């Protein structure tokens, strides 16, 4: 089915924000970012602002229903096109819409737009409202309380609310395996971690990595740095060059689109990388020792399926090694041959996490 895109104004603050709706859920691939444009006159904008506000109690209790069937919206604070976590999540969203008959809309939002975007979608009668990433967690908590009849799927969060199904990984478990692999691979007992933003969820990646590495070598040196953004490859590259220059020979990076800069730095310097979120083992062949893959898209698709099979089960749902929510994916031998002792150590650590013998920490100890 041919893919069709449309733009719609959600509120005054979104006059210049991108809103992509793909009618009929057809087509494949990630939608490209469109140029921003003014959508209304000043008078029309005022009317939109009035609509997008929290509104009356009646509006909160009875959102407008779609005349064209079911509708779902993905709201992301990280732009599409990162070839990683956001695109992976979008693929699950698109698949769910396509198979279960939802008209999809994707909204890329900036800081300051979160709450009013969610309110506008509630008022427009969207059947599924899917905020993505920790940045939208507070807005989701607030707006979901204002619109108790709206249904939310919050990606990468563990909030417990009556009309929110929140999806989160046990990223500390997969990161523990990454730490084991890195500590056994490093040539100079000096590795590094780079995160997109210094927040509790990203710190779980660091905590697991730190614990896994120190289980192999308690004296290993681990440098830590933060990009401050998930969409700044130039800053990611700058920081990676610094880490390699300071002696770290392996960087584990959990920074979405900012991660691409790390791979550029690795290519220039010969440094090693542990990828994250999706399979990045072939980006710089021979220099990526593994990828801590997280199946965001599968979680999202399963939530759509759950809704169709009887309704969303609200609350926080965690995905880890035990339910194929994530894993450390080692490279194919044709790309990079993982030494047998390292592969065996990773497999052993995985079994111990599954059995409960190893409990990966959620904060650096």
Residue 364 has pLDDT above 90, yes or no: yes
Nearest to 149 by CA among 70, 63, 56: 63
Whole domain around residue 339: which residue ranges?
171-294+332-355
Rounded CA Rg of the chain: 21
| Same-domain status, 337 and 278 | yes
What is the count of structural domains for the chain? 2
Q: How far apart are CA 217 and CA 319, in angstroms?
A: 28
Do 216 and 112 reside in the same domain of the chain?
no
17 and 149 within one domain? yes
Residue 361 resides in a domain: no
CATH number, position 100:
3.40.50.2300
Is 193 found in the same domain as 149? no
Helices marked H in the chain: 42-52, 57-61, 85-100, 114-123, 137-146, 171-185, 200-216, 233-245, 259-269, 296-308, 340-355
d(CA 341, CA 329): 16
Q: Has residue 362 been placed in a domain?
A: no
pTM: 0.77
- Beta bridge partners of residue 20, listed in sequence order: 106
Same domain (yes/no): 164, 177: no
Residue 12 lies in a domain: yes
Is residue 131 domain-shared with residue 262, that is, in the same domain?
Answer: no
Query: Do residues 152 and 30 share a domain?
Result: yes
Average of per-residue pLDDT across 57-84:
69
Percent of the chain with pLDDT over 90: 75
Name the one residue in this structure whose structure tokens are 């904060």: 363
User: Taking all residues of the chain, what is their mean pLDDT, rounded to a whole number?
Assistant: 85
Contact present, 170 and 319 (Cβ < 8 Å) = yes
Q: Is 301 part of any domain?
A: yes
Q: Establish if 190 belongs to a structural domain.
A: yes
* Together in a domain, 339 and 204: yes
In 3D space, the residue among 78, 213, 65 whose CA is nearest the CA of residue 150 turns out to be 65
Would you place residue 20 in the very low, low, confident or very high pLDDT band (cuts 50, 70, 90)? very low
Asked if pLDDT for residue 19 goes beyond 90, the answer is no
| Res 33 pLDDT > 90 | no
Residue 176: count other Cβ atoms within 10 Å of its Cβ: 30
Indicate if 252 and 281 belong to the same structural domain: yes
* Across 315-337, average pLDDT: 94
Per the domain annotation, does 364 fall within a domain?
no
Q: Cβ(89)–Cβ(72) under 8 Å?
A: no
Q: Are residues 84 and 205 in the same domain?
A: no
Same domain, 240 and 116: no
Q: Quick one: 10 and 122 in the same domain?
A: yes
């Amino acid at each position: 089915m041919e893919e069709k895109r449309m733009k719609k104004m959600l509120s005054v603050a979104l006059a210049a924000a991108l809103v992509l709706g793909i009618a009929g859920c057809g087509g494949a691939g990630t939608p490209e970012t469109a140029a921003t444009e003014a959508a209304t006159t000043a008078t029309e904008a005022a009317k939109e602002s009035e609509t997008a506000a929290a509104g009356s109690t009646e509006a909160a209790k009875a959102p407008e229903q779609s005349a064209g069937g079911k509708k779902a919206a993905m709201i992301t604070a990280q732009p599409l096109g990162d070839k990683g976590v956001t695109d992976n999540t979008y693929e699950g969203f698109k698949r769910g819409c396509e198979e279960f008959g939802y008209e999809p809309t994707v909204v890329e939002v900036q800081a300051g737009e979160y709450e009013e975007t969610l309110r506008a979608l509630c008022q427009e009668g969207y059947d599924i409202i899917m905020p993505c990433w920790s940045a939208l967690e507070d807005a989701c908590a607030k707006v979901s309380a204002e619109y108790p009849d709206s249904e939310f799927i919050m990606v990468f969060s563990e909030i417990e609310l009556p009309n929110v199904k929140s999806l989160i990984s046990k990223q500390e478990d997969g990161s523990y395996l990454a730490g084991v692999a890195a500590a056994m691979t490093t040539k100079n007992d000096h590795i590094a971690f780079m995160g997109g933003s210094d927040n509790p969820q990203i710190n779980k990646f660091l905590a697991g990595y730190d614990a896994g590495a120190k289980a192999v070598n308690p004296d290993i040196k681990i440098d830590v740095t933060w990009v401050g953004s998930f969409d700044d490859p130039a800053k990611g590259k700058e920081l990676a060059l610094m880490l390699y220059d300071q002696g770290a020979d392996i960087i584990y990076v959990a920074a979405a689109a900012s991660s691409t800069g790390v791979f550029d730095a690795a290519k220039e310097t010969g440094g090693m990388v542990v990828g994250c979120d999706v399979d990045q083992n072939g980006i710089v062949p021979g220099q990526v020792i593994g990828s801590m893959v997280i199946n965001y898209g599968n979680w999202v698709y399963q939530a759509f399926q759950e809704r169709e099979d009887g309704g969303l089960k609200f609350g926080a749902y965690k995905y880890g090694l035990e339910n194929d929510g994530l894993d450390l994916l080692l490279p194919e031998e044709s790309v990079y041959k993982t030494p047998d002792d390292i592969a065996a150590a990773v497999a052993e650590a995985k079994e111990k996490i599954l059995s409960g013998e190893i409990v990966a920490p959620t904060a650096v100890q």
